[in-house]
Amino acid sequence: MSIADLRREYSRASMIESQLADNPIVQFSRWFEQALNAEIPEANAMCLTTVAPNHRPSSRIVLIKNIDQQGFTWFTNYASRKGQDLETNPYAALLFYWIELERQVRIEGRVERVSDAESDAYFDSRPLLSRLAAVASAQSAPVADRAALEQQLLDAGNTYGDRPVRPPHWGGYRLHPDKMEFWQGRPSRLHDRIVYTLQDDGNWQRQRLQP
């Protein structure tokens, strides 16, 4: 079978405006809870896309760590490629894709760092080796080989023991959404697409899009 012939029909659910929340973050939380209840592996995984100063986009999978009315929060190394991108262009896009439910959610908005207190609290909640890895790794920088990377982790353990302190180059980002699109797969590729756009008065406008 050729790649062009790979396809499947989507028929699990539909999306009707009258059944959707007025606030897209509330609607997202409903879908996210359904994804968790369906025991979808890594339901909290999302594709994060940033744009470099030379206008080249870059995407990677990261894990969402908090969702509230302020937005969507994740944690990373500020000196990484995505961190450098966000320093010069503080806008990003997120994509959640739950194929088992035949759903995806696209989110766009402005990104800012969370407070030091919030970063400290999350860092301290992580497993010890994850904290040491955050201290040891200069994320996105070249390294000679795997052995050198593992040595950096050992060195961090020898230096900090079981009480590593959050390094200043590591912390959280929060995306404040101004556009969120919900996609539900439907038969014959006549998919449901509903987009929410944040208005100047702080309210959300909802609109159906053609698939």
**Active-site residue list:** 189
Q: Within 10 A of 71 (CB to CB), how many other CB atoms are there?
A: 21
What's the maximum distance between 2 C-alpha atoms anywhere in the chain? Answer: 59
- Could you list the beta-strand ranges (E) of the chain: 45-51, 57-63, 66-68, 71-77, 91-98, 103-113, 170-184, 192-198, 204-209
Q: Is the C-alpha dihedral spanning 126, 138, 112, 22 positive or negative? A: negative
CA dihedral over 145, 87, 43, 117, signed as positive or negative:
positive
**Apex 187 CA angle, 179 and 33, nearest 5:** 50
How many CA atoms lie less than 13 Å away from 84 in the CB half-sphere? 14
The dihedral sign for the CA sequence 21, 44, 117, 81 = negative
